[in-house]
């Protein structure tokens, strides 16, 4: 019996239909680039110091001396969270004593910022940090905001995979795009940090869901040669375009509410795509909905100016496909030992790669230099990373491609701690090179995972592994937070985990050159399994030893 790729081979690889699907699905990813990294500017922490109210009646000398100095990054700067006791300063000022000469400031008692804070309006006019005083004793709320966004991303990865496998790619794609745009708009009217954060969680659920579903939809519609281009130079580069536009918007719009409004507006432009993007015929076939699949295929042939065969599905094929069109469940990802090993290793691979990617991306405000330029460079470096990923996927096995880029990224990040403190440009360059390697690997993971798993659980598998990567993204903000105690500690941890998972990748099976599997049984035929004298269960059927295959522990 023919597989789906053979069935639609008459459509060609790069006709008007394929080009339309390619660019529309890719363009739908641009708002994800806005929302995915928007916390860099929405939750940016400006320089701040304790507010000294006018009612303190301090002279100009004592007003300037009211904030104690502390050592930060090797230099003395005004404290962000402490001030000298105002009643003591008021007495010194009334007695016409001068700070430093008549009074030893080190002996003056200090207190917290009881009257709030004064915030620098450079580079941000307003952020959620300055809006709700998320500093000092409440500074833990800032990384928590970003982490909870990724908790929403985690939940969305899991839920959307199951929903789209059950209800269809297209319906869930547009539903989650609506969730992302609608709740992002509601955030503008937040009246508290708690309200903003709850809405941010929901935005995160929609943000990753439509990314994953768009990826799967394109993977299943496009032909094999275009599938890799779509997965790397398509959705990934359009995500990077959104990411690059983020610092541009943020540079000109420095109030967080107005910035959020500007970032939300492009999502509305995706509404007309509902009438242009089709459902996945491959998914419809897996559900036994052959007439709907045939209608889409014939419309595609008409758009490409090709005469479709009079009969697309002969009766024998329909009966065979109906027998195979079972609904997958999450337990199928652990159906036997071979598949379970692949799934567990894939979960670790996605999680540790995500920690490196998001850790380096969210750490851009802490790099030396201009935050807007650093963020832009962090986005721009993703474009050549995706191009390299595409080239590697074309000519090299998946395992070696992913492993080499991860080891490059992790190794460079580990080297940053050896750079002399005065060589700031070299440090930034190494960070960007590390981001380059990890981003290349990250973009290849979608292709690799989609090639390993069959149609009935493919979106569920990509959703589950993507969910694992979101566990890493939830943790990543706290890796950045550790930089407040030791600026090299985040790089040491991220680099070590990235190199480790790069080595782990070499023990996964290879999918290069294989057709997409349609069933769990076909999944066992990928390179990396070999016969053993033992019987395993797949679903409810016992397979003979000739159908049993074990995971080979190398590419």
- Label each residue of 242-261 as H, E or C: HHHHHHHHHHHCCEHHHHHH
Phi, psi of 290 (to 5 degrees): -70, -35
Per-residue model confidence (pLDDT) at position 124: 86
The CB density around residue 1, as the number of other CB atoms within 10 Å, is 12
Q: Which CATH architecture has domain 1-38+134-325?
A: Up-down Bundle (1.20)
CATH number of the structural domain 328-555:
1.20.1250.20
DSSP state of 47: -
The whole-angstrom separation of Cα 279 and Cα 292 is 9
Q: pLDDT for 119-173, tens place per residue?
A: 988 888 899 999 998 988 888 888 888 888 888 887 887 777 678 877 888 888 8
The three-class DSSP label of residue 103 is strand
Residue 198 predicted with pLDDT over 90: yes
Q: Provide the 10 A C-beta neighbour count for residue 420.
A: 8
Mean per-residue pLDDT, 186-212:
88
Cis amide linkage into residue 486, ω under 30° from 0? no
| Spatial separation of the C-alpha atoms in residues 461 and 512, rounded to whole Å | 18
Q: What confidence score (pLDDT) does residue 189 get?
A: 93
Question: Is a pLDDT exceeding 80 seen at residue 21?
Answer: yes
Please tell me if the domain spanning 1-38+134-325 has the same topology as the one spanning 328-555: yes
The CA distance from 114 to 117, in Å, is 9
DSSP state of 453: S
**Beta-ladder partners of 527:** 510, 529
pLDDT at 543 over 60: no
Q: What is the pLDDT of residues 490-535, one digit of tens each?
A: 888 888 888 888 888 888 777 666 655 665 666 555 554 443 333 3
- Residue boundaries of the structural domains of the chain: 1-38+134-325, 48-119, 328-555
- What is the rounded CA–CA span in Å between residue 402 and residue 396? 10
- Mean pLDDT of the chain, nearest integer: 78
Number of H helices, E strands in the chain: 24, 10
């Amino acid at each position: 019996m023919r597989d789906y790729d053979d069935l639609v081979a008459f459509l060609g690889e790069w006709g008007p239909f394929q080009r339309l699907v390619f660019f529309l699905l890719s363009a739908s990813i641009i708002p994800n680039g806005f929302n995915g990294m928007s916390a860099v500017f929405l939750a940016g922490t400006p320089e701040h110091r304790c507010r000294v109210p006018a009612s303190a009646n301090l002279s100009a000398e004592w007003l300037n001396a009211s904030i104690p100095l502390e050592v930060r990054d090797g230099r003395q700067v005004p404290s962000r969270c402490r001030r000298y006791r105002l009643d003591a300063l008021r007495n010194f000022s009334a007695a016409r004593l001068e700070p430093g000469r008549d009074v030893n400031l080190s002996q003056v008692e200090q207190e917290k910022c009881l009257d709030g804070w004064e915030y620098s309006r450079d580079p941000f006019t307003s952020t959620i940090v300055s809006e709700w005083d998320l500093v000092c004793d409440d500074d833990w709320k800032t990384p928590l905001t970003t982490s909870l966004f990724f908790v929403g991303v985690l939940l969305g990865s899991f839920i959307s995979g199951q929903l789209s496998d059950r209800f269809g790619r297209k319906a869930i794609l547009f539903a989650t795009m609506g969730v992302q745009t609608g709740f992002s708009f509601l955030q503008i009217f937040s009246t508290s940090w708690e309200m903003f954060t709850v809405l941010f969680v929901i935005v995160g659920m929609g943000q990753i869901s439509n990314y994953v579903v768009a990826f799967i939809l394109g993977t299943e519609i496009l032909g094999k040669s275009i599938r890799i281009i779509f997965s790397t130079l398509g959705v990934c580069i359009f995500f990077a375009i959104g990411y690059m536009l983020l610092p541009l918007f943020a540079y000109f719009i420095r109030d967080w509410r107005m910035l959020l409004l500007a970032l939300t507006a492009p999502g509305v432009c995706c509404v007309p795509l509902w009438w242009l993007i089709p459902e996945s015929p491959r998914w419809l076939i897996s559900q036994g909905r052959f007439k709907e699949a045939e209608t889409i295929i014939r419309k595609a042939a008409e758009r490409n100016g090709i005469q479709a065969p009079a009969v697309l599905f002969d009766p024998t094929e329909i009966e065979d496909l109906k027998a195979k069109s079972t609904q997958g469940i999450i337990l199928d990802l652990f159906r036997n030992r071979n598949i379970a090993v692949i799934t567990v290793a894939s979960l670790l691979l996605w999680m540790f790669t995500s920690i490196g990617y998001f850790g380096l991306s969210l750490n851009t405000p802490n790099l030396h230099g201009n935050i807007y330029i650093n963020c832009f460079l962090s986005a721009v470096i993703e474009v050549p990373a995706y191009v390299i990923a595409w080239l590697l996927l074309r000519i090299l096995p998946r395992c070696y491609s992913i492993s080499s880029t991860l080891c490059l990224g992790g190794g460079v990040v580990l080297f940053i701690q050896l750079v002399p403190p005065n060589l700031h440009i070299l440090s930034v360059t190494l960070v960007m090179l590390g981001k380059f390697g990890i981003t290349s690997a990250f973009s290849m993971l979608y292709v690799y995972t989609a090639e390993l798993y069959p149609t009935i659980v493919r979106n569920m598998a990509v959703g589950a592994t993507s969910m694992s990567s979101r566990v890493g993204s939830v943790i990543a903000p706290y890796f950045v937070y550790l930089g407040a105690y030791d600026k090299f500690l985040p790089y040491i941890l991220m680099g070590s985990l990235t190199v480790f998972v790069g080595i782990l990748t070499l023990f996964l099976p290879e999918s290069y050159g294989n057709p997409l599997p349609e069933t769990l049984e076909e999944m066992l035929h990928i390179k990396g399994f070999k016969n053993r004298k033992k019987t395993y269960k797949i679903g409810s059927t016992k397979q003979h030893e000739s159908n049993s295959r074990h995971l080979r522990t190398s590419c």
